[in-house]
Structure 1
Amino acid sequence: MRDDMAELPSGGNLRERLDQAGMRPGGWLLASDIEGPLFLGDFIAEALSACLKPAVGATDAVPSYGQILYAEGYAAFSADTGPLRRPGGGAPPPEGGYTLAQEGSDTIFALPLLLAAGADYRYLERLALRSPPTPGAPEMAEQLAAMGWQLAGITTAPQQPYRARVSVGGWLETGRVLGSPFPLMEAEAMLRRHGRWEVEIDLVRTYLDDACRLIDQHSELWLDGGIRQRHLSGAGRELLRRRFQRFYREELGISYCRRERAGRAAATLLGRIVEACSMVGDRAKAALALGLARRAGGLDRLVTMGDGANDAAMLRRARWSIGVNGPDAARAAAIGLVSDDMRHVPVLLRLIERDGRDIDAVIGRAQAELRGAALVHRGREGVSEALADAHRRMKRKLRGEFVTY
């Protein structure tokens, strides 16, 4: 059964993904997160929101059952794996060494839930195809091409649905969409072949039934402008996180601790499938951006861009970076940008290419050129709470309810 894991789509290791991108040597590169800066929405969150609800007696409200399950599962996973991740300082490693678990790894926990809900690749691709480009993103790509720049998109989300999406638009090369594997149908085929489908999917359905019951028992509902709002209590959040931890740790037998993984396999086939998936997370995003730059014009000609916390490592590692419409991203990036039109980005890029030694000069000239059409400011320690709030408001305006990190 262990050999079966070779059948799962891996997307290749990082080196293989970089080779597949087909970067041209020379010139500048913009390596950007996909959700937010390039496309709106989050098709995994949308799929969970649409598919996950009680079998009977479901109450539609915002946030949905699926959105709450995604958010609280992420919070529980982060609490579990935080001590296992390599910190920025020189703290001693945990017993057994550091894990590669990172923000992107939580995406794979959507796989068992979507399997139990009957979702397939075609469904995810349909959702991805409905994701509209961020306003001005196609025009931004055209301007970059005219400037001689290359553009790559890096995401923690499943790679293939976004490749299907960009193949329709044509303004981003499919090979330059780098993301995570998501072996939805391969997992189902493997579970059925080994006679594990019914018993292991029943574990998932029991977890979903319990989790939805906790949400109903610990939520208040009210109408706000004709929209039914749902508020989950603090006690409900804690119970839901504990139930998720029991589901993935004890019932599926999944661990991200290297010491625990050594010499053992997860207790379930589904758990082994989840553990075998090498997801793109925050450090992998940074490694991909730097690797793409080495194949293009070099690290001195790299600009990274993102809007979320899981872009922070990529934004910090590049000399030039833009945190666009996201407070966590702005606090990690050299420059913050609040804009509802990505055509403002090439203004910054032209100035970086021309005046790339003085960040304050770049910001000042961008402010003068944009004349209030967008908010440009110093990032990192220069982000006040008022600026962070401006980023939050723009992110919510553009991305609506499907905003994760």
Structure 2
Amino acid sequence: MVFKLSVALLALAATSVSAAAVKRVSCPGGKHTTTNEACCVFFDLAEELQNNKFDNECSEDAHEALRLTFHDAIGFSKSGGPSKGTGADGSIMIFNDTELQDPANNGVDGAIDNLKPLLQQFKVTAGDLIQFAGAVAVSNCPGAPRLQFLAGRPNATHPAALGLVPKPEDNVNKIFARMADAGFSPTDLVNLLASHTVARSDTLILNREAVPFDSTPFTFDSQVFLEVLLKGNETLPPAAGEADAQVPNALAAQGEMRLQSDFAIAHDTQTACAWQEMINNQQLMMNNFKNAMAKLAVTGHDASKLIDCSDAVPIPKPPVGKATTFPAGTGPKLVQQSCPKPFPVLKTDPGAPTTIPECINGDTNIDDCPS
């Protein structure tokens, strides 16, 4: 009994010491406390982003900010070394005149123009701004995880080499090889592609903007993982005058599109089951995306030398609580399954096929477009 009591007291003492060791500092203004004063600036930055850039919504500006995190961080090559790029370093913002020459970076100029002025307003580096803005942006999408944010990335000193960003028309093996050279497995890539649940395109279809990738473009759910597998959702060859476009086939009346690369990755033997297992598994998708984004955000950096400022990231909106379903007008007979495991049993939405109107000039928000 004495021995057990002594152990209990030691455990309690250790807990008390550990708790006392984690000191909180009060940020200027007194609204926030954090473990490191270097994080204080990010609370103010989050407020500016939410109020004046994203309007606290899972909007087009929020989607573009999330996309920018990948396009900056993927500028890294294990085989090519630092001269090819130093990862999540803000180079795409600092040297945008150079990196935007890469066709794969078409469309990210909007996010750069939206965010770059904040470098004059807040004492943060471009790499930290990009990764933090992406974490804040996705917190507005119901069902998204709260992403980790580590601060302290130095500014890039040179642009990343052109050609490091995978393109949707690339062969799937070329995409896997490019991602492997940046340190990511095929499964990592699938997990990162959960971002496509809130993705929209302004450039891939001629004269059309804010074209969603699934039927619920303002919700972080697994509909995209289901809908890419539906027969007829393969992308067609580009039409005349649309050399770079990925033209939608099925669900075109709903205003949706599919990326050729998503379809190929969903059916490749290395990734088909990783793709399928996230259908109707909200928690798994959230966990996988959070872990993959944590890895992406520190590409090219030693995470142990960065400062954990995750408490400055807003708590995301909760999931909507709706199970993944076949969109109205579709059903299980349209599934093109490549994973040998049993396919989830899902219901079909009632009624006529849902129509998602185009949102003009990229001005998409919850008031203008259906959720």
Q: TM-score, normalised by structure 2?
A: 0.25
Larger helix percent: 1
Query: What TM-score, normalized to structure 1?
Result: 0.23
